Amino acid sequence: MITTNTKSTNNIKKTSDNKESKETLGFEEFKNEVLNDYKLAHLSRHMSVLARREVLNGKAKFGIFGDGKEVAQIAMAKQFLEGDWRSGYYRDQTFMLAAGMTTPKKFFALLYGETRTELNPDNGGRSMNNHFGTRLIQDNGEWIDQSQSKNTSSDISPTAGQMPRLTGLALASKLYREQPELQSFNNYSNRGNEVAFGTIGDASTSEGLFFEAVNAAGVLQIPMAISVWDDGYGISVPVELQTVKANISKALKGFEKQRGDHSGILIFEANGWDYAELCQMYEKGIARCRKEHIPVLFHVKELTQPTGHSTSGSHERYKSKERLHWEKEKDCLVQLRRWILEKNITDEATLDSIESEAKDEAVTAKKEAYNEYLQPIMEEREELNAIIRQKSCVCHKSGEEQINSIVNNLNNALTLNRKEILSSARKILRHVCASCEKPGGLKDQLRKWVARYVENGHEKYNAFLYDESARSPLRITGIAPEYAEDAPLVPGREIIRDNFDTLFANNPRLITLGEDTGKLGGVNQTLEGLQKKHGNWRVRDTGIHEATIVGEGIGLALRGFRPITEIQYFDYLLYTLHTLSDDLATTHYRTKGGQKAPVIVRTRGHRLEGIWHSGSPLSMVINSIRGMYVCVPRDMTRAAGMYNTLLQGEDPAIVIEPLNGYRIREKQPSNWGAFQIPLGIPEVIKEGTDVTIATYGSCVRIAAEAIDQLAEIGISVELIDVQTLLPFDTEKVILNSLKKTNRIVFFDEDVPGGATAYMMQKVLEEQGGFYYLDHKPMTITAKDHRPAYGTDGDYFSNPNAEDVYETIYGMMGEAYPDKFPPIY
């Protein structure tokens, strides 16, 4: 079947003798459609060729393109409707063009790194070329009506990294279709009729993320359509060394859904140069995927890659002459032209003319995009030149020569960019003489210009790591827990459970999913009874696939849900760290505020038993997931309050509940779902005058025990619970304590040089705490290795109350040796 009308799925039927029956589509309309596709395919190819040249001539930094995949992507785009989603990768330019989600000029704006989102809406210069993403967030902070637009989640470079979120995008359709209470959210879905299209290179199917996602989709039975672009290589490595049986379709044969099966996927195969076959395959497969919510895999074989893997190398280095000759013959553009002529759709002269028009259009788009990109940069250079020309003083001869040389190099730069401009201005400042210091003088003007330029650069290149709108969770003020006079003491797990119960009752879009989350109610019973009360779809059990659990959360969040994804233990976060770091944490930043994924990742850690159930690797987290908030509550009331706060905002976060807090009894609040712990504001738990100790999580209780013992011998310690590591102490609570005590200890269970070093840098360097020290700052941490097993293993591996006591005692002993003589 061949159709470009994405509103229709039955325009042309293919007969058994491979001739098209024009039952509902006249020949002229059919002809126009085919020729439009032919032009689009050539337009995309010329864009790839021109873009490669722009990289090689220095106008662009790097290029990776979709040449060789044009015909297959045009066929796929015919089935992509408003409301549908794409989670793809960096070879999808033809699909984006065919689906109307980009233009040739935007393609080149991406290539040049254009920072203005009106010209480069996909990523505002934050990502490489061909990293697409539609803008889901309007300028006023409101979400667009996704049901009336074609949507693509923001691309990332890591191979198969797009797969985890694809499952969530497809799962959202299933939930919107099957849950009556979601019908009113029609700005996110049209009754779940949307398909989530995923694309991936054949070599990347070797990644575990791919198999996780395919397995999860086959179990869930969701409308997920994966296209595998198979050009026979993964850069230089042939498919025989990538995939069992050298064929992903054969490798997945056990996944294939048969009649009567309740799970599984449909598998289709077609050659990437066969226009008619591809159009039929996609129409048939997507129709079933959309109607029946069955996941589908399209294996598109015998593709080529005419310009090589990327601009970093040439495929002639690893492909044989025979292979290169075969690729020229099987080029989808060559085959499409041959098919058109064989079917007498038009003549060679017409096709030549179409190719020429496509090339001219690509050249025009390139020129316009580059001129638009370069114009403001040239104006910025002229601003700097104007300041230099206006200088009235005469600098020392050597300084004058240096300034002239820098200006001359800037004005003759082969490739002009903002780095050259700002670097030149900063270097010129070094050589401006002291006589130019006067107000309005060259040095004064230049300093102010550099400051403004850096500030403008922040918006272009640094801003939007977190949500900066009114929906930021940092704008949520604190509300204290309220307690009845006869409030009982209850186990901490019940605090979490009852607070979640209220949250689920009040928010129909709230959903939680993870291993043992549903029927069991969590391994620590913190969701006990909630699946039965709120439904299997809202309190969901998942398979053991942590990366895909988080990925499902990302996809659901992009489509309007408020997911809480549970990773059973903090140590298991390693399974999904790449998804957290590469995808979730960067979503808002890499789209320059165009997309948000407000996922809350819930886990538990600190102090249990053995190497893989007791970790506290906070430095691993805080240094790899900037763009997410990291909450480290000391008890379950604090944890519940943090969930309440985070759900009022739209930033992603991770909450690490202290394992030893589930059984410890806490006073039962009465304002469930309403009390809120503000992010970034530490709590002073116990005031003191001699030493400040800053810590978090389970260490708070350990520190409190040691502080009570120190008080008995006259040492007064101020105990501060950091509460969140990202953000960290926005009110300078710890600094103000240090001003009083002049001594400080940073304490946690991470490795030496981990989160304690992070806290120290924040307080002593950023906040200026160094100037208030009377003693060198101290850290108390775990050993270099992971904790050994058992009570004794924990004691010898992790810091304990005796370590805290002796560290602080030793600090005081240095100041007052007579009063506090050495213990050892």
- Residue spans of alpha helices (H) in 525-635: 530-534, 546-558, 577-578, 587-590, 618-622
**How far is Cα 60 from Cα 53, in angstroms, rounded to an integer?**
9
Cis? peptide before 104, omega within 30° of 0: no
- Residue spans of alpha helices (H) in 508-598: 530-534, 546-558, 577-578, 587-590
Using DSSP's 3-state secondary structure scheme, residue 14 falls into: strand
**How far is Cα 542 from Cα 513, in angstroms, rounded to an integer?**
6
**How far is Cα 402 from Cα 431, in angstroms, rounded to an integer?**
7
Number of H helices, E strands in the chain: 26, 24
- Residue spans of alpha helices (H) in 58-101: 70-77, 93-98
Strand order in the sheet with 296-301: 151-152, 85-87, 196-201, 224-229, 296-301, 266-271
**How far is Cα 258 from Cα 764, in angstroms, rounded to an integer?**
64
Residues with Cβ < 8 Å from 194, sequence gap 6 or more? 81, 83, 84, 85, 147, 172, 173, 176, 223, 290
**How far is Cα 462 from Cα 684, in angstroms, rounded to an integer?**
33
Using DSSP's 3-state secondary structure scheme, residue 692 falls into: strand
Which phi and psi angles does 667 have, rounded to 5°?
-70, 135
Q: Is the dihedral of CA 378, 384, 388, 391 positive or negative?
A: positive
Calculate the CA dihedral of residues 479, 600, 541, 662 and round it to 10 degrees: -50
- The half-sphere exposure of 552 on its side-chain side, counting CA atoms within 13 A, is 33
Catalytic residue numbers read 613
Beta bridge partners of 691: 717
| Neighbour tally for 768: CB within 10 Å | 13
| Neighbour tally for 313: CB within 10 Å | 12
The answer to whether the CB of 521 falls within 8 A of the CB of 531 is yes
**How far is Cα 497 from Cα 688, in angstroms, rounded to an integer?**
35
Which phi and psi angles does 294 have, rounded to 5°?
-110, 130
Beta strand 85-87 with 489-491 is unpaired
E-assigned strands of 140-195?
Answer: 151-152
- Residue spans of alpha helices (H) in 182-274: 208-220, 248-251
Instruction: Give me 545's structure tokens.
Output: 């696939």
The answer to whether the CB of 165 falls within 8 A of the CB of 102 is no
3-state secondary structure 698-743: CHHHHHHHHHHHHHCCCCCEEEEECCEEECCCCCCHHHHHHHHHCC
**How far is Cα 143 from Cα 133, in angstroms, rounded to an integer?**
14
Instruction: Give me 465's structure tokens.
Output: 């790591």
Instruction: Give me 579's structure tokens.
Output: 């998804």
The answer to whether the CB of 145 falls within 8 A of the CB of 79 is no
Element at 278 (helix H, strand E)? helix 275-292
**How far is Cα 410 from Cα 358, in angstroms, rounded to an integer?**
36
